[in-house]
Amino acid sequence: MAEYKAPLREMNFLLHEVFAADELWARLPGLDGAVDRETADAILEEMAKLAANTLDPINRSGDEEGCHWDDGAVTTPKGFPEAYATFCEGGWGALLGNPEYGGMGMPKMLGAQVEEMITATNISFALYPILTAGACLAIDAHASEALKQRYLPKMYEGTWAGAMDLTEPHAGTDLGLIRTRAEPRDDGSYSITGSKIFITGGDQDLSENIIHLVLAKLPDAPKGPKGISLFIVPKYEVNEDGSVGGPNNVNCGSIEHKMGIKASATCAMNFDGARGWLVGEENRGLAAMFTMMNYERLGVGIQGLGASERSYQNALDYARERVQSRSPTGAKQPDKTADPIIVHPDVRRMLLTQKALIGGGRALSTYVAKWLDIAKFGEGEEKKNGEGMVALLTPVAKAFFTDKGLDCTIIGQQVFGGHGYIREWGQEQLVRDVRITQIYEGTNGIQALDLAGRKTVANGGALFELFAADVQQFIDAEVDREEMAEFVQPLATELQRLRETTEKMLAAAGEDPHAPGAASVEYLHLFGYVAYAFMWAKVAAAALPKLGEDDFYKGQVKTARFYFARLLPQARALAASINAGSATLMDIEEDLF
């Protein structure tokens, strides 16, 4: 396996040359000058070292050893506690946290790059701090001041970790069916009773306490999702002085034996009258949870991106070293018995497909993070637009990144041929690890339905128009640059195709209730391909004036050309599939399946 090299040049190029992040950070009032270019670059360089030197070396061993469960206690693989301590000592858990409680207050545009490096080197490890960060977001946005003071500083430190307890055996996507109960106590706390499954980091040996955010229903709660409340339920009670007290009737009943992410403890949790504290308002638990969902779902998408990058680095290194056959145009290395396989067109097709999908994904993750920062730190109409763009783009980022993530890891495995199927090369682990990203935090089918239904049809395409206007503004600004014609013209064509397809879907939804669901997955993919075209056009616009400075810019432009020529044409087929309607899906009787 190749040694991981963080793509810092690509990250810095996107932040500073494509998106002018330092200018945005300087003017967003809520950031209050917390970060500049020098600080951002230093943070990325330090994470690159941690990822390569601490997290990457324990990735394969963690997969082979996995987590262990014994009498309710979970043990993580060798090296994980030490790596977690190093991670926390560096203050990484506080990176995006609220400065009022010990966080650094950094923007998500920077955090997205940091997350990619962590997930590229060790998805299993990454899940522990990522879930803690998500729990912190919900607490910071909705909990009382007393709860924030009690929990956030320790969670930012990593001394205490967080877990999100949503799913139950009978209630996955439809959380309105949950049965976990919350009974009020005389002291203002609640007695939490019920069972949850698939709880990432529900138990572990990394932190001294685990702060569970649990969805439960009060005795008089309305039926369905409008009757769900959110509670803080620590594994161990917290004393008045902030120290850890006795057990809190929170128990891990078992851990799952999984296809991948084996070093991440996926737990079945039992709450037997555990003491909890209400977060936010009664029966408003889902609203509190959705505060962190946009960040978490982008984070899951970035896991797909990180796994893709790791697979690409492995495959590229192998393709340069592995010799097989001769180039179609004659020997490239006549002194050797064969040429490296990178000379062969099909191998180049695979590597360039990875490179183009990763580059488009990294740019789009930065773009979505930009809107998250605007929504969080901006004001007025800009803030409102940011919230709309985040709502629209979050399902695209989560689902398209992870669908393409699986594709990219499989392509990387394919470059190795038979060696890719063998454990020692690391490619098969990436395929297994990334597979879950299409499933958790809302399956990709649900993300597609969210995009087509709630985010498009439900508002008559208003959110889509925000995105389309941003793309059109770019097109209008670049249309007179002759050297940009090869990118701007096809982008304009595909934006129009996406617009027309959206309008047809909106019209069909008025007559056919099945229309949004039937179109949803293809619509999300169509949206994703057009969004990547937008990103690659922006990359080309920034790189073209600098072609003579550095081969890096030449590589960016040539990859953009590959994307437009070889990958973007898939948009036409997707649009045709969407426009075919729901009849062929719904007209077949169930007993004919």
Catalytic site residues? Answer: 441
Closest by Cα among 405, 481, 402, 408 to 444? 402
Angstrom CA distances, 275 to 127, 178, 232, 239, 501, stand at 26, 19, 9, 13, 51
DSSP-derived letter for residue 3 is: P
Tokens 């009060």 identify what position?
A: 218
Tokens of 89: 């000592």
Distance CA 328, CA 344 (A): 7
Q: What is the 3-state secondary structure (H, E, C) of 42-83?
A: HHHHHHHHHHHHHHHHHHHHHHHHCCEEECCEEECCCCHHHH
**Strand residue runs (E) in 235-295:** 236-238, 244-247, 250-255, 266-279
Contact of 40 with 219, CB cutoff 8 Å: no
102 C-beta neighbours (distance < 10 Å), count: 16
Q: What is the 3-state secondary structure (H, E, C) of 516-580?
A: HHHHHHHHHHHHHHHHHHHHHHHHHHHHHHHCCCCHHHHHHHHHHHHHHHHHCCHHHHHHHHHHC
Distance CA 74, CA 68 (A): 6
Angstrom CA distances, 524 to 152, 292, 589, stand at 36, 22, 27
Q: What is the sign, positive or negative, of the torsion defined by CA atoms of 294, 296, 302, 303? A: negative
Tokens of 386: 């940011």
Residue 228, C-beta contacts closer than 8 angstroms, at least 6 positions apart: 175, 176, 178, 215, 216, 217, 221, 283, 285, 286
Beta bridge partners of residue 276, listed in sequence order: 190
Residue 103 has φ and ψ, to the nearest 5°, of -80, 170
Distance CA 205, CA 209 (A): 9
Closest by Cα among 253, 195, 260 to 70? 253
Q: What is the DSSP string of 286-312?
A: HHHHHHHHHHHHHHHHHHHHHHHHHHH
Tokens of 568: 């973007």
Tokens 């937008």 identify what position?
A: 534
